């Protein structure tokens, strides 16, 4: 195991984050504040409670998930796409590193960044609404697993993308709708029955539901299903990454 290489990649990626720390941390804080103003204060006033939780608090887990997923994807995808784009990937390919080590460095850094951003949003949310976390251990577990699996997903997108447009495509066209329709701002139970059935095909529903359960002890689907869903997604991403590196897909001729 080339630990120095994993550390080098991780430090390099985190340095990129540090260079833009202000933008990186400020933008989620601002967007979260905006969500609270619009959904919490303006609209939330008219929505009494959802499943016994004040609406402002109810949307906290979904907001964190929304940011964490998009940040994990964009950080990891950019992290591997950029070296491909400017050609510096030659060094990675000629170094005595295994694919596993490359993934560990890149995905580890992207997951760390999104975890930090998730924590930042949690703190910001605490300023606006009162809430308590019933299962902090499970909350952290859900958060970390989401960070890792979506960073892996972002890594796959970064490898696949051949231009900057493609890099933006998946987060914009797939993730944002899935999260918005995944119960970030409402309980799936609030949907008409037919749409409830459709929602169960949205993997993000399971993640947000499980994450919300760790806060308030209420969930749209059983927490076991949520854990299974995220484990499945993680395994799927690992499988694809393994295949990418075995076949050299879009990396090594």
Partner 1 sequence: MAAIVEVTDLSKTYGDGFRALRGVDLRIAEGEILALLGPNGAGKTTLISALCGIVTPTGGQALVGGHDVVADYRAARCLVGLVPQEVMLDPFDRVIDALRFSRGLFGRGRDEALIARILRQLSLWDKRDARLRELSGGMRRRVLIAKALCHEPRVLFLDEPTAGVDVGLRRDMWEVVRGLRARGVTIILTTHYIEEAEAIADRIAIIDKGEILLVEETAELIRKMGRKTLRIALAAPLARLPAALAEDGLELIEEGRALLCHLPAQGAGDGLTRLVQALAQEGLALRDIETRQSRLEEIFVGLLREGAA
Which residues of this protein are in contact with partner 1, per CB under 8 A? 2, 4-5, 7-9, 11-12, 15-16, 19, 82-83, 86-88, 90-98, 248, 252-253
Distance, CA of 32 to CA of 18 (rounded, Å) = 21
Distance CA 187, CA 208 (A): 10
* Shortest spacing between CB 253 and partner 1, in angstroms: 4
- 142, 207 in Cβ contact below 8 A? yes
| Ramachandran category for residue 87: left, alpha or beta (phi over 0 → left; psi -120 to 50 → alpha) | left
Min dist CB 149 to partner 1, Å, is: 26
Q: Closer CB to partner 1, residue 82 or residue 128?
A: 82
Question: Dihedrals φ, ψ of 162, to 5°?
Answer: -110, -5
Least distance from C-beta 246 to partner 1, angstroms? 11
116 Cβ partners below 8 Å, 6+ apart? 25
Compute the least distance from the CB of residue 240 to partner 1, in Å: 20
- What six digits make up the tokens of 136? 């902090």
Residues 6+ apart with CB under 8 A from 102: 9, 92, 245
**Residue 191 is encoded by which pair of tokens?**
């949907």
Q: How far is the CB of 188 from partner 1 (least distance, A)?
A: 43
Shortest distance in whole angstroms from residue 9 CB to partner 1: 7
4: its two tokens: 């120095």
| Phi, psi of 213, deg, nearest 5 | -60, -40
Q: How far apart are CA 148 and CA 73, in angstroms?
A: 10
Q: Which is nearer to partner 1, 13 or 220 (CB)?
A: 13
Nearer to partner 1, 97 or 129 (CB): 97
Nearer to partner 1, 57 or 97 (CB): 97
Between residues 163 and 235, which has the closer beta carbon with respect to partner 1? 163
Cβ proximity to partner 1, 86 vs 194, nearer residue:
86
């Amino acid at each position: 195991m080339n630990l120095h290489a994993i550390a080098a990649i991780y430090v390099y990626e985190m340095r990129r984050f540090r260079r833009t720390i202000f933008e990186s941390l400020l933008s989620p804080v601002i967007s979260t504040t905006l969500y609270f103003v619009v959904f919490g204060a303006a609209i939330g006033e008219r929505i009494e409670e959802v499943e016994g939780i004040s609406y402002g608090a109810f949307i906290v887990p979904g907001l964190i998930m929304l940011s964490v997923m998009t940040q994990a994807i964009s950080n990891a995808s950019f992290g591997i796409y950029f070296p491909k784009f400017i050609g510096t990937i030659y060094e990675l390919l000629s170094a005595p590193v295994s694919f596993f080590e490359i993934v560990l460095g890149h995905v580890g850094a992207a997951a760390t960044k999104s975890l930090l951003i998730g924590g930042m949003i949690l703190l910001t949310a605490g300023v606006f609404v009162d809430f308590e976390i019933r299962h902090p251990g499970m909350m952290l577990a859900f958060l970390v697993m989401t960070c890792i699996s979506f960073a892996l997903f972002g890594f796959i997108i970064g490898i696949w993308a051949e231009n900057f447009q493609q890099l933006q495509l998946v987060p914009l066209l797939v993730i944002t709708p899935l999260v918005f329709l995944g119960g970030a701002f409402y309980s799936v139970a609030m949907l008409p029955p037919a749409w409830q059935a459709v929602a169960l095909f949205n993997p993000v529903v399971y993640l947000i539901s499980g994450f919300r359960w760790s806060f308030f002890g209420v969930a749209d689907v059983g927490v076991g299903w949520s854990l299974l869903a995220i484990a499945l997604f993680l395994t799927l991403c690992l499988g694809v990454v393994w295949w990418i590196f075995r076949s050299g897909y879009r990396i090594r001729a």
